[in-house]
């Protein structure tokens, strides 16, 4: 049995999806690929998110770990999963700070379990900071150029 990793629902501070937080123990990407029944996985910065793509239908939770906030590989991992059609919970865990929240949200994270709980008011302000966006990403926001040219 692989060692169980992952955050518990109690540790999820912000969530942008219906239903209860997924409560499955996440396993490493290697363990996940070896097991036919795992439904939750944790991606570390060095893991290739594309290795999960053949198995998206059985995944209910993907945790993406940020051991240090300055390592931005998790943003690409998140977007790759969303681009491939993953619709399950995508949880940012680890060194998740106020000032990364809006970018993480844009890359497709819909659940946040920071190592250190964040100030609620500061976090709300951060999620709502940007009135507009310049580029499409993994969220549904229309970029400025689409608004300028009347595109959906």
Partner 1 sequence: MYLYDQYDQAMVDARVAEFRDQTERRLKGALSEEQFRPLRLMNGLYLQLHAYMLRVAVPYGTLNSRQMHALADIADKYDRGYGHFTTRQNIQYNWIRLEDAPDILADLAAVEMHAIQTSGNCIRNISSDHFAGAAADELVDPRPYAELLRQWSSFHPEFSYLPRKFKFAVIASDTDRAAMKLHDIGIQIVRNHAGELGASFYVGGGMGRTPMIAPCIRDFVPLDQLITYAEACLRVYNRYGRRDNKFKARIKILVHELGQDEYTRQVEAEFAHMLEQGIEPPLAELERIKGYFEQPVFESGLAADFDRSDPDFALWADRNTHAHKAAGYVSAVISLKPVGGIPGDASAAQMHLMADLAREYSFDECRVMHTQNIVLPHVRIADLHALWTQLEAAGLGSPNLDTIEDIIACPGLDYCSLANARSIPIAQKISQRFAQSGRTAELGELKLKISGCINACGHHHAGHIGILGVDRKGKENYQLLLGGSEAQDTSLAKITGPGFDEDGIVNAVEKATDVYLANRAEGERFLDTYRRIGMEPFKEALYG
Positions that interact with partner 1 (CB under 8 A) = 45, 69-73, 75-76, 79, 83, 97, 99-100, 102-104, 106-107, 119, 122, 125, 129-137, 143-145, 147-149, 151
Rounded least distance, CB 26 to partner 1, Å:
21
Question: By C-beta, is 16 or 130 nearer to partner 1?
Answer: 130
Cα–Cα dist 100/70, whole Å: 10
Rounded least distance, CB 143 to partner 1, Å:
7
Cα–Cα dist 134/144, whole Å: 5
Cβ–Cβ under 8 Å, residues 139 and 75: no
Question: By C-beta, is 10 or 152 nearer to partner 1?
Answer: 152
Cβ–Cβ under 8 Å, residues 42 and 5: yes
């Amino acid at each position: 049995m692989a060692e169980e990793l992952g955050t518990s629902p109690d540790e999820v501070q912000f969530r942008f999806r219906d239903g209860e937080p997924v409560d499955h123990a996440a396993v490493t990407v290697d363990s996940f690929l070896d097991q036919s029944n795992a439904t939750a996985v944790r991606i570390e910065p060095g893991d290739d998110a594309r290795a999960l793509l053949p198995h998206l239908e059985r995944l209910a939770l993907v945790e993406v770990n940020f051991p240090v906030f300055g390592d931005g590989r998790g943003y690409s991992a998140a977007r790759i999963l969303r681009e491939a059609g993953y619709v399950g919970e995508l949880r940012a865990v680890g060194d998740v700070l106020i000032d990364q929240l809006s970018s993480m949200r844009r890359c497709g994270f819909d659940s946040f379990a920071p190592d250190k709980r964040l100030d609620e008011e500061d976090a709300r302000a951060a999620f709502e900071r940007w009135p507009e966006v310049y580029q499409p990403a993994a969220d549904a926001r229309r970029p400025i150029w689409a608004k300028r040219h009347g595109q959906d």
